[in-house]
Structure 1
């Protein structure tokens, strides 16, 4: 499944967000398979306001963003790439994408969406400029025949969790960014676990101190929650791996309108830890087994301790390989015509 011969010696232009090191993980996997990779951030800056303005409406930073992509095109036009992979496609304009295509006429262009198009409307404008498009969200695939379904992935670091043989420190852990109604649902999950005497590790990242202050001002519940759990510094991946290794289960709370399985869900598979999730679409995946995956209601999430007391590790090697970063790269760059998952 993860034959890498088709990438040996190939040149890849890789444009993706800087997001908790996942862009480095993809780049490292491509290079491990023999590719020569040039990476660029998908935005002209990684500060909060640059991200926020692009997300609100990319036209607010159109001039700056187009100038940034012109620089990328000019700095890479002397090279001939075999592949151009763009992740998310939130910042690049249709005009700049077409100029990039004109400068790399021999390259296969691929787009991967790790946020659904519901949260990334710019991607809808770009779809037909790509040779292939993948999304982690089944609803994107159902709405557009151009899009192939390809779930997210876990990195090789999670082998350390899978092979960890110590006594569990926590019954469950939650590690994630706080957005939408996530903190309210998480509070209910924690209440259910605490009522059963469970030990839970909680790490909640918030990307902006200014927005945090505004939200705290108008939402007393958030203000109370944040004093206990919020951090403005992200957790290193190695620490994420360690906390998951020490836990019996991983808690996942998806966005209200998102079907795609989150990175943390797939990492639970890689780490061989049970999954507690609010994502109802999980039942449509081959990783779903009621013994290993507990589906909760967002409004009244209940976690029974019996679910956490099982000793046998979940998720077999064949299933785990399917959701590895190695197989993810294979699905996107395989030139033999194999389809994504």
Structure 2
């Protein structure tokens, strides 16, 4: 672990399943002092949608909020300004930050595609270093490709945990996820034990989805959960699973966080993202790429254990490896 003793870091990152806390904790563990501001500070469902669809309407309010928060932080000489996504960090705010902290190194990490955050592209020149999880964006915009990481709590257990499920899935039932799972479970042998936790925000969302998504037209209410799965239960499901199913958004190219959580936990990965074949962790024994339109997992894949990865590969996809690479430590 590379130390950061005495350094001051300004972290601007969205609230996202606690990953912003994991990033902050890792930087602080290395001896640095961290101040955090929220990217996308207005995170009610309505404001989240407005920020995505009409960022120009939200940025002036975010500018005023950041100006006030920076004033409250006082005179700080930051060594690093680390921005994750920068969805509501405008050119005006970045210019203010550059002027206030001329000595700081500005780093941007995109864990969303530029296609979904088009206005961020105009701000790339403000940063000294830019990385992305998306291989297509890396090539098109000259960014460094840096995949995501395994969050805290997903490390392989010190003692073996009895297997309860051959395959499990926990996630939001967006886009075609229900349809993929519905097709897949119809192909599994009877002796394969599966755990499915498809989350929707409310029953009315299912009613709307039945009309708007052909693959959910005949979905049953009891196929879904309307409360997010708590982290201790999620970790227990992971620990008791042999393989984790990952279904990325149909328009997404970069690998999901779930990919690295599965591998970090010492679990096999079943994924609809064919890009997984291009990464150094790929092996036929641990990773099964399926067709989202006709998903089939060989029974032998589910009946054989995870093959340990080389330690250097495993560490690269931890939050420690992510931070080392991102900050050039």
Normalising TM by the smaller chain, what interval? over 0.9
Q: Show CA shifts across 1:166-187 (max 9, x none).
A: 3210111111223222222222
Q: 2:229 aligns with which of 223, 235, 244?
A: 235
Equivalent residue in structure 2 for 1:73, among 70, 74, 82: 70
Partner SS state of residue 238, structure 1: helix
Query: 1:155 pairs with 151, 154, 176, which one?
Result: 151
After the TM superposition, which residues 301-340 of structure 1 pair with which residues of structure 2 at under 5 Å, given as runs?
A: 301-334=295-328
For residues 34-79 of structure 1, give each alpha carbon's deviation from its aligned partner in whole angstroms, at most 9, with x where no partner exists: 1101112112322111111101121132332222222233223511
State the distance in 1 between where 2:77 and 2:271 align.
44
Other-structure match for 1:126:
123
Residues in 1 aligned to 2:191 and 2:44: alpha-carbon distance in whole angstroms: 40
Are positions 1:62 and 2:59 aligned together?
yes
Give the counterpart of 1:175 among 170, 173, 179. 170
Q: List per-residue Cα deviations over 1:222-246 (Å, max 9, x = no partner).
A: 3653623433433333332221110
Task: Check conservation: 2:268, 2:306, Cα contact below 8 A.
Answer: no
Cross-structure match for 1:106: 103
The answer (yes or no) to whether the contact 1:14–1:86 under 8 Å persists in 2 is: yes
SS at structure 2 position matched to 1:171 = strand
Aligned pairs (5 A) from 1:78-227: 78-145=75-142, 147-159=143-155, 161-193=156-188, 195-207=189-201, 211-219=205-213, 221-222=215-216, 224-225=218-219, 227=221
Q: Give the match for residue 4 of structure 1.
A: 2
> What is the CA–CA distance in structure 2 between the aligned matches of 1:298 and 1:35, rounded to whole Å?
44
Mean Cα displacement is larger for which, 11-20 or 91-100?
91-100
Structure 1 consecutive aligned stretches of length 4 or more whose deviation exceeds 6 Å: none
**Contact kept in structure 2, 1:208 and 1:232, CA below 8 Å:** yes
CA distance change for structure 1 residues 229 and 29 in 2, over 3 Å: closer, same or farther?
farther
Structure 1 residue corresponding to 2:257, chosen from 231, 247, 263: 263
Show the counterpart of 1:250.
Answer: 244
Q: TM-score, normalised by structure 2?
A: 0.93
| Matches for 1:33-52 after TM superposition, within 5 Å | 33-52=30-49
Q: How many residues are aligned here?
A: 329
**CA distance in structure 1 between the partners assigned to 2:43 and 2:35 by the alignment:** 18
Worse-superposed segment, 85-94 or 312-321:
312-321
Query: Quick one: distance in 1 between partners of 2:79 and 2:243?
Result: 41
Residue in 2 that maps onto 1:339: none
More deviation in 264-273 or 53-62? Answer: 53-62
- Secondary structure (helix, strand or coil) at the match of 1:49 reads helix
The answer for unaligned runs of 5 or more in structure 1 is 336-341
What is the alpha-carbon distance in structure 2 between the residues aligned to residue 128 and residue 273 of structure 1? Answer: 40
Corresponding residue SS for 1:158: coil
Q: Does 1:274 align with 2:268?
A: yes
Q: Secondary structure at the match of 2:241?
A: coil
Describe the SS at the equivalent of 2:136. Answer: helix
Contact 1:196 1:305 (8 Å CA) reproduced: no
